[in-house]
Each structure stands twice: as structure tokens, then as C-alpha cells.
Structure 1
Amino acid sequence: MSDRTRTRLLNALKGSGPQTAADLAATLAVTPVAIRQHLDGLAGEGLVDFEDQKGSVGRPRRVWALTAAGHARFPDNHATLVAGLLGGLRQIYGEEGLDRLIALREQEAEAVYGAELDDAPDVATRLERLAALRSREGYMAEVEEDGTGGWLFIENHCSICAAATACQGFCRSELALFQKVLGPGTVIDRCEHLLSGDRRCVYRVTPVAA
């Protein structure tokens, strides 16, 4: 299996979630036969697995997804070090010290994001710019319309998962941060949460009537 195809396949499953071989073949512009061969190879390494989903008619659809080992190919940045540092900080300074660290990180991010978003003409543009910023930080972020006049802000990877696992104050802080930089014209709710067992974090962004 070529390393390039392997990487693209893993990225496609990470970014868009479970898919059939036909879906992956169309996305990657590779033949379905070749995709199935690659998936079999990745399955042999324990990186992907499949589920046969029955439909109303015809044969079941074989849907492929990353395993825990597959997700681990997208690791946290220095995960072990970060978790250890946070544990040490908690021991030395207590929860108050940890809260102060999270607040400082939030303030610094707000300044950086605000500088990029402040001149955006509307919420949709602000979301697209925020997604670009977060993607550069490793979150694989994207924006989708939700069909009701709002949007879904999606992060397919959490590049601070180890820190968030050690202290969920980081998750609360990021929700507050998004609300601040998107402004008072929106309401944001987290509807999927990686640390709650979902495969990604998703935020529903609803415009507020003037």
C-alpha cells in the first residue's frame, strides 16, 4: 500500500467519519477495488474496522471506520508531557492555579482570534475564519449549514485531548471562547463531545434575531 494513499484514507475516515468503500473511492479518486485492498491492509493492522448495516432492500452496506488504534494515529501534541505538567500544577497550586492558567490561555486565544475575525462582515464569514484558524492548530475544523438557518462548527480532531481529559475546564473555556469571538449575535451549544464518547466535537451556532 502506498504511504500516500494510506494517509489519505486515514485522513478521510478521521475527517468525515464512517464511510463505505464506494464513498471513499469517490472521495479519493481511487478505484473501489484498490480501496478495498487498502482497507483490508489497514484492518489487518488494526487501524480500521467495518460494520455491515442492513438497509430496507438489497445487501447490507459495509461501513468502515477508524478503530481506537486508528484514532491514535492523530495524537495529542506532547500528550504525556502535558498531562503530567497539568497534574503537577494541580498538586502545587490547586484548582485555583489551574483555573488561572486556563483563563490566561483563553484570553490569549481571544486576542489572536479577535484580530482575525473582527472585520468579518457576517457570522458565516467569522465561522469560516475561525475554522481556518483552528485547523492550523490541528483541530481539522469545518463549518456546515444545519438546514435551519444556523451552522454546525465541527472539530474532527482535538489537539489538546490529553489536557482536556486531565481537566475539562479546557472544554468549558473553549465553548466560552467561541461565544466571545463570534459575538452576541449568536448562541452556541455543544451537541457532540469527544470526551463524552462521540467521535468529534460539534457546536451548533444559532443566529439571534436582532
Structure 2
Amino acid sequence: MFIAEHETRAARDGDHSSPLESRTRSRVLHMVSADGPITAAELGRHLHLTPAAVRRHLDALVDQGMVVAHEPSSAPRGRGRPARAYVVSEAGHRSLETDYDALAVEVLRYLAERVGPDAVAGFARERLAVLEERYAARLATVGSDLPARAQALVQALSDDGFAATARPVGASALTGIQLCQGHCPVQSVAEEFPSFCEAEADAFSRMLGVHVQRLATLAGGNHVCTTFIPTTAVVRTQTDHTKERFSS
């Protein structure tokens, strides 16, 4: 679905690459969306492309405004500087969205104006409730282990086009799992109505059984949605319960 949409937009914007080139370029764009910031070397390894092919596609995507170079503020200067990494630009995220976004925003504006902002928030919760019920069924198959449930959630989100990933982060009292979503199908809506992001985070908390913390969102201008899932809280709770059982 995403590849077809990207090829249609590329043709409309004057990109006359062959169908094979367009498909490969779309794969590059989606991997940058899912795993960015990502270097050309990493893209080549994951997609089995030569350095020349990766550079050609990245240069084309940069020229089209689909991806941009991302250099963290802490990057060292001069000798030893890390390889340039790339993230999807705002225009790149737009190219992954459907043409119904503008209509959806207009409808929600109408709802907010005629009924009130609470109606939009209620709609967001209802929409997420449907996804939550479907995702919860998948999480139930992996039991109560939090990392396993987080990974099941990542897979469910990815299947729905959110380009999700997860990795362990932190140390000691701040240990947890960082869940990232490289693409948001409702980004345009969430930019104007943050209640969609809030409803999603609340749903994550309920499904995982811990209070998650939303650190960044695409709707807020970041290159990825980032959610912190604490694992030490679970361990601490289990330890407290154990103490209570032996002290009683």
C-alpha cells in the first residue's frame, strides 16, 4: 500500500525512475522511517544494496526533500566524526500518508466547533479502544512477561503501518524499553488534535500494565514517536508484594 502511494506521488512530482528503481527507493524511505537515524552503510547491509546504489537513492530522496541528514548536537567535530545518518523529513512523512488526511482534519474541526473539544477526545478514545481490543488479544498470547508483551505490541503496530521498533534502554533505577514509531498514519490529525497521542499512550499503559511515558511525537515535530516503558517499576512492585507476603 505504501509503496504504491509513494510511486504515484513520485511520478506526479516528476520522478521518472524505472518501476524497479522506484520500489527500491521506497524501501529505502520506509527503512529510514522505521530505523532512522540510520547511516548509508546500515541501509546497505539491511537492504542488500551496494554503497553506490544506497548513495544514489539517498541523494534522490534528499533532492526530493523526503529525507534529511541528522546530526546530533553531541556529535564530535573533525577527525573521528561519525558517519552521517538520515531521518525522514516532514515532507517524507507526508508522502507516506493518505490523501484523506485533510478531509479527516476538516471533519474533526467541524466536530470540535459544533459539539466541543471533548467530542474529539471521545472519538480518539473510541478509535483507540478498537485497536486496543485487537492488540490486547495478540499480547495475551505471549503471557505476562513485559518485554515479550512490548515486542508483541511492536509487531502489531508495525503490521498496521506504524514502523515500530523497541530496544532496552537505561541503567539501574531507570531501566526500561524504548518503543519507537517511525511513521504515524494519523500524524496530520494528531498535529492539531493531540488527544489522539494521549489516547494512544493511555492504551499502551493499559495493555502493558505499567504507566508509560511519551517522550516525543511525530505530531510534535520530532522525527519519531518515542515511548518509555519502565521495567524497574514492575520489578519493584513484585519485590514489594513479596516483602508484604513474608511480613504478614
Assess same fold via TM > 0.5.
Answer: yes
**What is the CA–CA distance in structure 1 between the aligned matches of 2:70 and 2:152, rounded to whole Å?**
36
Other-structure match for 1:180? 206
1:26 is displaced (CA, Å) by: 2.1
**What is the CA–CA distance in structure 1 between the aligned matches of 2:59 and 2:124, rounded to whole Å?**
43
Q: Could you list the per-position Cα deviations for residues 59-98 of structure 1 after superposition, in whole angstroms to 9, with x for gaps in the alignment?
A: 7744344333223221157211110110111122112322
Other-structure match for 1:168? 194
Higher helix share: 2
Aligned pair 1:43/2:62, yes or no? yes
Q: How does 1:4-19 map to 2 (within 5 A)?
A: 4-19=23-38
| Identity in percent | 29
Other-structure match for 1:145? 168
Other-structure match for 2:123? 101
Does the C-alpha gap of structure 1 residues 101 and 22 become closer, same or farther in structure 2, counting only changes over 3 Å? closer
1:191 is displaced (CA, Å) by: 1.7
Does the C-alpha gap of structure 1 residues 84 and 94 become closer, same or farther in structure 2, counting only changes over 3 Å? same
Q: Could you list the per-position Cα deviations for residues 104-126 of structure 1 after superposition, in whole angstroms to 9, with x for gaps in the alignment?
A: 22333332222222343211121
> If the length of structure 2 is used for normalisation, what is the TM-score?
0.74
Letter in 2 for 1:180: R
The answer to whether the 8 A contact 1:142-1:154 is kept is yes
Q: How does 1:38-117 map to 2 (within 5 A)?
A: 38-50=57-69, 55=77, 57-58=79-80, 61-76=83-98, 78-117=100-139
State which of 133, 137, 140 in structure 1 corresponds to 2:156.
Answer: 133
**What is the CA–CA distance in structure 1 between the aligned matches of 2:81 and 2:126, rounded to whole Å?**
54
Bigger radius of gyration: 2
The answer to whether the 8 A contact 2:212-2:229 is kept is yes
Please give the secondary structure, in 2, of the residue aligned with 1:11: helix
Other-structure match for 2:220? 196
**What is the CA–CA distance in structure 2 between the aligned matches of 1:179 and 1:51, rounded to whole Å?**
30
The answer to whether the 8 A contact 1:77-1:159 is kept is no
Please give the secondary structure, in 1, of the residue aligned with 2:95: coil
The answer to whether the 8 A contact 2:89-2:223 is kept is no
**What is the CA–CA distance in structure 2 between the aligned matches of 1:178 and 1:115, rounded to whole Å?**
13
**Matched length:** 208
- Identify unmatched segments of 5+ residues in structure 2: 1-16, 239-248
The answer to whether the 8 A contact 1:86-1:166 is kept is no
Does the C-alpha gap of structure 1 residues 99 and 197 become closer, same or farther in structure 2, counting only changes over 3 Å? closer
The answer to whether the 8 A contact 1:76-1:158 is kept is no
What is the RMSD of the two structures over their aligned residues, measured on CA atoms? 2.4
Letter in 1 for 2:26: T
Aligned pair 1:28/2:54, yes or no? no
**What is the CA–CA distance in structure 1 between the aligned matches of 2:154 and 2:82, rounded to whole Å?**
35
1:49 is displaced (CA, Å) by: 3.7
Other-structure match for 2:180? 154
Please give the secondary structure, in 2, of the residue aligned with 1:197: coil
1:101 is displaced (CA, Å) by: 1.8
**What is the CA–CA distance in structure 1 between the aligned matches of 2:227 and 2:110, rounded to whole Å?**
31
1:54 is displaced (CA, Å) by: 5.5
